[in-house]
Amino acid sequence: MAVTSLGSTAADRFEREIRAARQEAEKADNAVPVHTFLHRWGVYVALHRHPDRAARLSALEKAVGEAVSRAEARAGSAGTAALLDEAAREVTGCTQEATCPEGVPSRGQWIGLLGRVAPHDGTVQPG
């Protein structure tokens, strides 16, 4: 099952990001920007095609935003990183760290990437 529709904000961002990836790929004369785009949006789809997973992500983002202590924020961030890790592994088909292709972010690296996902509307921020 895939995501059947994107909200207008996410659809607009998708269009902007695919255009930017294509332009960057042409400018650099390599496909890395397009691969990065496809991976990032693959993770988005993997997160949002499961309503329970999308709801959990939203709840974790809200918890981080409302955290009153570093411990609460870190716990929410760790939960978010675990969801992102699960989605990335689904996209790449790897089930264990040792089987993941080079370049697939580890759980710890996801924490640094969290700023790319805007809370509650599912849009992906430019990286």
Per residue in 47-60, pLDDT (tens digit) is 988 889 999 999 99
79, 86 in Cβ contact below 8 A?
A: no
Q: How many CA atoms lie within 13 A of 1 on its CB side?
A: 7
48, 3 in Cβ contact below 8 A?
A: yes
Please state, in angstroms and rounded to a whole number, the distance separating the CA atoms of residues 58 and 26.
35
Q: What is the 3-state secondary structure (H, E, C) of 85-110?
A: HHHHHHHHCCCCHHHCCCCCCCHHHH
pTM for this predicted structure = 0.66
List pLDDT tens digits, range 66-120. Answer: 999 999 999 999 999 999 988 888 888 776 655 555 655 554 454 444 444 434 4
Q: Which amino acid is at 48?
A: H
Q: What are phi and psi of 2, to 5 degrees?
A: -110, 170
Q: Which amino acid is at 78?
A: A
